[in-house]
A and B are shown apart, each in its own frame.
Chain A
Amino acid sequence: AQKITQTQPGMFVQEKEAVTLDCTYDTSDPSYGLFWYKQPSSGEMIFLIYQGSYDQQNATEGRYSLNFQKARKSANLVISASQLGDSAMYFCAMRVDTDKLIFGTGTRLQVFP
């Protein structure tokens, strides 16, 4: 069965430090995509970063990078130089059909000064 698992309900990080949010996935399809979304308190879902299963390099988007370990089926999000505005829920997701996504349960990140 296809599944996304996020085992960290909450994380704390000090401003300007880096933080890693964990995500593991399960699929038997050789072709898949992995995504991270940010959900601030306003509720909207903001797309952050994408990693394709055939991509050779880890994806990066500004302060966000995705630590993709295919053999371990993990796709951890790394946020460098955390800012107070990074406080939000973060969801890992996997494409299971053409742009049909399944989501993990999320990790609440709190950045403190």
Chain B
Amino acid sequence: SQTIHQWPATLVQPVGSPLSLECTVEGTSNPNLYWYRQAAGRGLQLLFYSVGIGQISSEVPQNLSASRPQDRQFILSSKKLLLSDSGFYLCAWGSGRARGELFFGEGSRLTVL
């Protein structure tokens, strides 16, 4: 069966520090991968998605970047965090098939102080 994991689960970082959140998927090959952010009390905003190694699409201009160095690995990064980067980050994968549901990781809660 397919599983998705992301880490760290919780992160408290000072403004201006770097960020790296990692997500890996097991049990499937060539998944579509996504990074969403959920601000407190709000819905999910799509940040990045990837349909293959090295292929990254950005949905909104921001202080963050994403990379996909391996087929089942997706990384969210920042060189210098802003206060506004605080939130709950969710990684997800999808098969790209007809129904198109996404399956999510456990989430990473980032607090920038």
Most chain A C-beta atoms within 10 Å of own C-beta, residue among B34, B98, B99, B101: B101
How many inter-chain contacts with C-beta < 8 Å in the A-B complex?
61
Q: Is the CB of B100 within 8 A of A95?
A: yes
Residues of B within 8 A of A44 (CB): 104-107
A35 to chain B, nearest CB (A): 6
Chain B interface bracket (under 10, 10 to 19, 20 to 34, 35 or more): 20 to 34
Residues of A in contact (CB 8 Å), total 23
Knowing A35-B101, A91-B44, A105-B43, the reply to whether A100 touches B106 (Cβ < 8 A) is: no
B7 at the interface (CB under 8 A from A): no
Q: Is the CB of A99 within 8 A of B104?
A: no
A50 at the interface (CB under 8 A from B): yes
Q: Mark A73-113, 1 if CB is under 8 A from B, else 0.
A: 00000000000000000010001001111111110000000
A47 at the interface (CB under 8 A from B): yes
A18 at the interface (CB under 8 A from B): no
The 5 closest A-B pairs by CB, nearest first: A99-B94, A99-B100, A45-B104, A43-B107, A103-B44
Interface CB pairs A-B, < 8 A, 27: A4-B43, A33-B99, A33-B100, A35-B101, A43-B90, A43-B107, A43-B109, A44-B105, A45-B44, A45-B90, A45-B102, A46-B104, A50-B101, A52-B99, A91-B43, A98-B100, A99-B94, A99-B95, A99-B96, A99-B97, A99-B100, A99-B101, A99-B102, A100-B32, A100-B46, A106-B42, A106-B43
Q: Which residues of B contact A (CB under 8 A)?
A: 32, 34, 36, 42-44, 46, 49, 88, 90, 92, 94-107, 109
